[in-house]
Structure 1
Amino acid sequence: MPDKYGVGEDAYCYPGSSVLRNKLNIRDEPTLSEAEQQLSAIAAASVEFNPPPYSLTYLQDIHRQLFSDLYEWAGELRTVGMAKQDTRFCQPQYMEAEASKIFANIAAANWFEEMSRAELIVAVSEAYSDINVVHPFREGNGRAQRILFEHLIMNAGFEISWWGIEKTEWIFANIAAYNCVMEPMEQVFEKCIGQMIQP
C-alpha cells in the first residue's frame, strides 16, 4: 500500500500499512499525526540555538531532538527513495554529498551574515529549497528544517516567525522551487523574515 510519499511497502511502516512504526505503537495515521505534532512541538521548545557552522549533522541532531520520543530512527538518514506527486527527492546514496555541497555554499556566503534583508530572503529561499530536495529523513523534514533556518536567520541578525504561513502556501512554494520558480518561496520568506535584531 503506497503511502503519501509513494514509497510503497517499506521497513519504516507496519506490514500492509502506510503507518510509520512508532514507539507508541499507534496504528492509524490521524492519531499518529496528532501525536507527532504535539510531541515535536514540545520538543522544539527545548532545541537550543547554536551559532555556525551548520551541517547535515546539525540538522540530524535537530531531527533527533524533535522525534526521538516517537521514532527509533529519529535523526537517521532515510534509506528509501521518496517522491511526492511529481517531486522526486534525492536518492539516499547521494544525500550526504548533495547536503555537503549546499552547506559548503552557505558557509562560503559566510552563513548569510552581513546581508541586507532583501539579499537574505533570496539566499535563504534558495538554500531552503535545495535542502528540501535532499529531504534527508523519512518523516519530519519540514519541522527540522524550519528550526535549522530559524538558527541560520537569527545568526544572520534577523527575526523569524512562521506564523501566518498556510500549509498549502508552503507546499506550493516548495513545488515551484523544485521547478526552478523561486518567487513563491521568496514570498514566503518575505513574510517570515522580520526586522533586524537590535543588539
Structure 2
Amino acid sequence: MALENKLGLTSSADLAREEERISKKKAAELFEKGILDSLPVGKFSTLQAIHKYLFEDIYDFAGELRTVNIAKGNFRFAPLMYLQAALDNIDKMPQSNFDEIIEKYVEMNIAHPFREGNGRSTRIWLDHILKNKIGKVVDWSKVNKEDYLLAMERSPIKDIEIKHLLKAALTDEVDSRDVYMKGIDHSYYYEGYTTFKTEEL
C-alpha cells in the first residue's frame, strides 16, 4: 500500500516514481532560486523548510513531525515522546568543524523527524552546513552505497566509519550545480535505508 498522498496514487511503485520526479525538480529549484542561502545553518527549522519544499506537492505531512514510531530492522529511531527534545538538543550541538558536523548529522538521522523523505532532506541539510561552516560539500557520487548504508547503521554506536567515508568524498565545488544535482540523483540510490515498519499511535 502506498502512503496517503495528494496525487491520488495507490501503487507504491507509482508513488515512488512520481515522488522521485517531483522532489528532484523541487530540489533543483531550491538550488537555482538560492532559497537555501536565506536559511539558518544547522537548525531543525531549516530541515523542516527543505522537507516542506521537496514534498509539499505530494504529502500533507510535508515539513511536519511524524506521528508514528519508526524502525529499521532492530533499530528504533527516536520515540515520539522524546523526538522534540532530541531536535532541541540537535539545534544546540556545535558545528564548527567536520567531525562536529557529522556528529550532528548522525543525531538527526537517529531522530528521523519525518514520516518519509528523511534521507533526501537531511543530505541537503548536511551539505548546507558543510558549505557554510567549512567551505566543502559531499560529492555523493563518490560515496559507495553499501559502505554508506552500513556506516549509517553503525553510526549511533561508532561514527568513525561514516566520518571517514564522507571526508574522502568532500569537494570545494560548493557552488557547482552539477555536484549538487549528483547528490539529489544519488539520494534515491541510498533510500533503501529508510524503509520502515511503522506503529500507528
- Aligned-partner residue type, residue 38 of structure 1: R
- The match for 2:115 is 138
Q: Deviations over 1:56-83 (max 9, x none)?
A: 2221111000001111110010011000
Aligned partner of 1:75 among 30, 55, 63: 63
Instruction: Assess if the C-alpha contact under 8 Å between 1:173 and 1:184 holds in 2.
Output: yes
- The match for 2:183 is none
Instruction: Compare 57-66 and 41-50 and name the one that shifted more.
Output: 41-50
User: In 1, distance between residues paired with 2:158 and 2:42?
Assistant: 26
What percentage of residue pairs aligned between the two structures are identical?
30
- The match for 1:9 is none
1:56 paired to 2:44: yes
Instruction: Assess if the C-alpha contact under 8 Å between 2:143 and 2:166 holds in 1.
Output: no
What TM-score does the superposition give when structure 1 sets the normalisation length? 0.78
Change in CA separation of 1:157 and 1:182 when aligned onto 2, cut-off 3 Å: closer
- The match for 1:157 is 134
- Aligned-partner residue type, residue 100 of structure 1: D
- The match for 1:170 is 148
1:147 paired to 2:124: yes
- The match for 2:198 is none
Shift of 1:192: 3.0
Off by >3 Å, runs of 4+ in structure 1: 51-54, 195-198
User: Of Structure 1 and Structure 2, which has the larger fraction of its residues in helix?
Assistant: 2
User: In 2, distance between residues paired with 1:75 and 1:166?
Assistant: 29
- Aligned-partner residue type, residue 89 of structure 1: F
User: In 2, distance between residues paired with 1:57 and 1:96?
Assistant: 12
What TM-score does the superposition give when structure 2 sets the normalisation length? 0.77
Q: Structure 1 unaligned runs (5+)?
A: 1-16
- Aligned-partner residue type, residue 104 of structure 2: A
RMSD: 2.0
Instruction: Assess if the C-alpha contact under 8 Å between 1:64 and 1:75 holds in 2.
Output: yes
Correspondence 1:1-199 to 2 at 5 A: 17=1, 19-47=2-30, 48-50=35-37, 52-106=40-94, 111-112=95-96, 115=97, 120=98, 122-160=99-137, 161-178=139-156, 180-195=157-172
Instruction: Assess if the C-alpha contact under 8 Å between 1:157 and 1:197 holds in 2.
Output: no
User: In 2, distance between residues paired with 1:64 and 1:165?
Assistant: 26
Q: How many residues were matched structurally? A: 169
